[in-house]
Structure 1
């Protein structure tokens, strides 16, 4: 499968560059994927952030080298990207449970984190509802951003909206959305990653509404260019299945733009949707 080959090419690039500076743009290029989406796709499939996978692989190889060579530990630390012996020792002890100097005694137990390989698994036991929307104009969204940890996103984002409801920010957004209503992407919007390239541990979550007037002084404006979108009901379920089930079989690429969570009013069905920017794959020669 083409998608599988591309993901494994990205892993090849990582493995070939563990003792060098790893360019996250080149990882995404190897996977033929946008920077914005690759780290999310990786963590969704592998179960850990991309940066954590790289850290574990480097510390695994460093442990092998300390045991099998007479090189100074500081030299090995710098080889695997650590600027000081102290930072290397802390990271090493966090993973292996012992200091680097201790493992030259052969009886010390260690942890080895193997290279990941993506393979085909049988999924799709239940269908995924979706539709394609072509939004032919820029989306001007007004609101504010919050930095959240990727690992806690599913817990933190609902908490942000609950707090927003209590402090009156949600009411202010709703009032603004009705000043000049549009026909698509209405109601409350959560934009996952204000910038195009999303980091692994944290990202900006922008809470806002479409609004064409001058924003209030305490708010900022976010512009998302016109794009083609795939839209899924049920945000949590869609996030879990997007990268592992829909993307590999869809015939579309993921565009290098933020995803949008759309939260509708009480009587709307579905209550919320996930909007994901996409591109049609170029035809093969």
Structure 2
């Protein structure tokens, strides 16, 4: 896994002046494009597209300051069809336009080249199990909300408060499989997991019922598949957010599975004061092909 990730990083460096095929990066890492984007985001702390943009603007910034090429030539070299588009991208990374940077010798920001190495962690272990589930339905209320990496998500909190007690009781009566009771279901997430990107959030239950659903409720049909289920306990909401991070940075690189498209399901039990959580996180997975042990 580590060797493949570093091969993908080398692929990026060799093609900063050309288009970068994410499918080729995923092949180098011996995984799917979907899983590669998510794994990179978890390990690097930023979406893959943002890392590539920062690396391009880092090396382009050096050429701007060197003054050996026109600004338009630099823009063209790094794949921008106009000086205006290049200037916008340059300013977004460096906080100053390329013309001003060249005239004043302004200090620019540098994105170091990334590489991945083994760090011995995980001495406390992770609780998980693998579950095969038949097709099921998610039934409840849905909202489009922004992704928040740290702290509570105000949009989700406000949405949940807006659901009346009668609706919650109806939903609880429809739950007929694990995870039992009302759960949080996240679907249609951006693969890069960038802060602020939107997702579909369901406050809902899981059911095998095939009949008509009341018109005031939303439905998500989920096909049969394999799920990895992780358990954790600790302060709320940090425990939930750190659980997802640890799954992608520790568990996936150490186990013969990769994520697959599908909703993520979170069942949370809160303490009376709302400060402690017992959580179960369900992630859709599939077996990963392994060509041999990583160095």
* TM-score, normalization by structure 2: 0.79
Return closer, same or farther for 1:251/1:53 CA change in 2, 3 Å cut-off. same
Return closer, same or farther for 1:170/1:86 CA change in 2, 3 Å cut-off. farther
Tell me what 1:193 maps to: 187
Q: Is the 8 A contact 1:73 1:100 kept in 2?
A: yes
Alignment length (residue pairs): 276
Tell me what 1:210 maps to: 206
Return closer, same or farther for 1:171/1:249 CA change in 2, 3 Å cut-off. farther
Q: Is the 8 A contact 2:143 2:159 kept in 1?
A: no
Return closer, same or farther for 1:206/1:262 CA change in 2, 3 Å cut-off. same
Tell me what 2:262 maps to: 257
Shift of 1:60: 0.7
Q: Which of 121, 127, 139 is 2:136 aligned to?
A: 139
Q: Which of 231, 238, 243 is 1:238 aligned to?
A: 243
How far apart, in 2, do the equivalents of 1:134 and 1:68 lie? 58
Shift of 1:79: 3.4
Residue 178 (1) aligns with residue 173 (2)? yes
Residue 271 (1) aligns with residue 264 (2)? no
Q: Is the 8 A contact 2:177 2:206 kept in 1?
A: no
Tell me what 2:42 maps to: 44
Question: SS state of the match for residue 127, structure 2?
Answer: coil
Return closer, same or farther for 1:153/1:13 CA change in 2, 3 Å cut-off. same
Tell me what 1:162 maps to: 157
Tell me what 1:100 maps to: 98
Return closer, same or farther for 1:237/1:122 CA change in 2, 3 Å cut-off. same
Q: Is the 8 A contact 1:258 1:277 kept in 2?
A: yes
Tell me what 2:237 maps to: none
User: Bigger shift: 54-63 or 201-210?
Assistant: 201-210
Return closer, same or farther for 1:220/1:36 CA change in 2, 3 Å cut-off. farther
More helix by share: 1
Tell me what 1:64 maps to: 62
Q: Which runs of 5+ in 2 are unaligned?
A: 233-239
Q: Is the 8 A contact 2:264 2:284 kept in 1?
A: yes
Return closer, same or farther for 1:206/1:139 CA change in 2, 3 Å cut-off. farther
Q: Which runs of 5+ in 1 are unaligned?
A: none
Q: CA RMSD in A?
A: 3.0
Q: Is the 8 A contact 1:177 1:210 kept in 2?
A: no
